[in-house]
Every structure is written in structure tokens, then in C-alpha cells.
Amino acid sequence: MPHGNMIGLQRRSVIDLCMLGHIYDCLTLCCSLLSSIMFGLFGGKSFEPAKDIPDLSGKVIIVTGGNTGLGKESVLQLAKHNPSQIYLAARTESKATSAIEEIKSQVPNAKVEFLSLDLTDFDSVKSAAETFKQKEQRLDILLNNAGVMAMPYSKTKQGYEIQFGTNHMGHALFTKLLLPTLLKTAEEPNADVRIVTLSSEGHNLAPRSCGVIYDQAAAETFGPWGRYGSAKLANILYSRGLTAHYPSLTCVAVHPGVIKTELYNSTERDNALIRYGLAAVGNIFMASVPQGTKNQLWAATAAKEEVRKAYFFTTPVGSASQGSGFAKDQKGVDKLWEWTEEELKKHGY
């Protein structure tokens, strides 16, 4: 066979494999959406933030990604229950300021303050943690809400794939730097300290060959949805690791449901198969942002004994789940914990 024809066949094979990968991603995503939607229609805990969130007097709270979507709605609902202070952690001050003004228009006495945090840059993460610790002696609820989804391939400042770096590594460092304050708060009588991390049923999209993509140099080859699944799987595994290492803290990961937020903007630019799949499934069934916040608000404020029953909660609200086979694997928990600690040490943390 002529050399040119061989190259042509190889290129066609690569294109065919990529197309098959997109088809698989689309089908898996749509099945995940449908499964989440169907299970979300039945059962679950009865939880209405207005009446079921208890009085939060004296509590200090951080919500990452609090300037939009689920984060902003979470800050709003928490602010209605008299916490001592909420820190709205976000990258863009103008958006955060606008969000705070909107929240205060509904809750005039809300104590909400902007905390500058860019999860794609460890220097910013360190600065945010230091700023917080200069102002506060306690931290009762850390809601690791911020995240990105199905983004085109790029890297964080420290060289991690953008979804893994934002959703996992940035939050892992932020949590690590805040642990002394969290643990000190947990020593108080009747303390109830929570770390709630937003994961997703999308963790099922993690590559079947490896689960978490540890080889960051090869991350681009897995596609945006495989990378997203890896990052969301890491959220569950790391939350489990926190529970194992710090039993005085209540640490869980949650799936919010299928919510039409700004996260889907990047998926709509992705490719036609996924775009039309989301349009067919999502636009009919996606829940509202207030509905989507219920699981994380429940995990952050419900009775401790209820929240400690599982490490991952899916929809409907408060539905315990073990997640995927990768999420259930204790060896995976240990591996991610050790790997993350080593990575943070490389950067001086």
C-alpha cells in the first residue's frame, strides 16, 4: 500500500476513534442525566431551606464560587439564618460584589464578605486562606462549591489540567490550609464542623482505564467529559480521605441534580452530539438553581447523625450513594490522598 494511503487510513482511524469517543461520551452523559433525573423524582429527604436550615448564629461559613449559580443561591439561603459571617469566595471581585448586593437586597442584615480566590492559582489560594485566618478564629462550614465542567483543554498556573486543577487541586489546597482553623473549631463543646464538596453523578464519566487521571501530561487525550469525570471522582475520593484522616470533621460530597447553570455553557460549544443530546434531555428536565442547592444545603446544615451516614449523597435530597466502582474503592481513596499530598509538597505546601 502506498505510504500516502497508509497515512490517510491512519488519520481516518484516529478520526473514527474520536467520533466513537464523542458518541460514547454523549450516550453516557445522557444516560447519567436521565438516571439522575428519574431517581430525583422519587423519595429523598423533605428539605426546604427556609424552614429546615437551623439557626446559624455564631457560625462562620465559606462558600467557594459564591458569585453565581448554586454558590450564590447557597449564600443567599444560608444568610437568611443569622450566621456570624459568610465569606463569598470568588475570582472576579465585580461579579462577587454584584452578587453580594443582590443577596443583601433580599436579606438586608446579611453578613457577607468577598474573599478573593482563584482556584487555578496556588498563590491565590494561599492568599485567600491567609486573609481568612487573619480575620477569623473559627470556621464551621466550608462549602467547596466552585467548579468548571467539560472545558476545552488548558492548564492551571501550576500545570494541572484545568478541570482537575480547579475542581480538585485548588480545593484540596484551600481545604488543607484551612484545616488548622477547622480542627480548632471542632474541639469546642458541641461543635459541628462540615466540609461539603460539590461532586456529580458525572464522576461516572471518569475514564474506565484509570478513573482518576494521574498522568496530567496525558490528560488531553481523554476528552473534556473524561477529564470532568476524573475531577468529580477525585472530589468524592478526597472527601472520603478527609473523613478518614480527620474524624472530628463531617466531610461529604454531593451531587446537586441536573441543573441548568452557567457550567453548561462550555458543553454547548463542545460538539454537535453532546450539544443536541443536552438539548433533548436537559432543557426539558433540568431543575432550577434553588432546587439544585438543596442537597449541599442539607449536607451543610442537617442533623450531623444523618449526614454522617454516607460519604456521597445524590438526588433526591439526602439520598446516600456509594457512587461508581472507582468511588467505592478504598485503595483509590488512599492513592489519591497520597498523590495529592505529594503534589502539594512539591509546591511547598
Instruction: List the chain domain ranges.
Output: 13-346
pLDDT reported for residue 154: 96
Q: Which of 228, 238, 264, 311 is catalytic?
A: 228
Among this protein's residues, is 335 annotated catalytic? Answer: no
Q: Name residue 254's beta-bridge partners.
A: 198, 313
Dist CA 60 CA 87 (whole Å): 8
Tens-of-pLDDT digits for all 349 residues of the chain? 444 443 333 333 333 334 344 445 555 555 555 555 554 455 567 899 999 999 999 999 999 999 999 999 999 999 999 999 999 999 999 999 999 999 999 999 999 999 999 999 999 999 999 999 999 999 999 999 999 998 999 999 999 999 999 999 999 999 999 999 999 999 999 999 999 999 999 999 999 999 999 999 999 999 999 999 999 999 999 999 999 999 999 999 999 987 765 554 555 455 555 555 555 555 566 678 999 999 999 999 999 999 999 999 999 999 999 999 999 999 999 999 999 999 999 999 9
Q: Which of 232, 238, 264, 294 is catalytic?
A: 232
pTM (2 d.p.): 0.86
Q: Name the amino acid, one letter, at 252.
A: V
Are 228 and 150 within 8 A, CB to CB? yes
Provide DSSP, 181-220: HHHHHHTSTT---EEEEE--GGGGGS-TTTSS---GGGGG
Ordered strands of the 141-144 beta sheet: 112-116, 85-90, 60-64, 141-144, 194-198, 250-254, 312-314, 319-321
The residues, ordered by sequence, that sit 6+ positions from 342 with a Cβ below 8 Å of its Cβ are none
Among this protein's residues, is 246 annotated catalytic? Answer: no
pLDDT reported for residue 18: 40
C-alpha closest to that of 227 among 339, 327, 156, 152:
152
Specify the residue for cell string 442537617. Answer: 302
Homologous superfamily of the 13-346 domain (CATH): NAD(P)-binding Rossmann-like Domain (3.40.50.720)
Are 125 and 174 within 8 A, CB to CB? yes
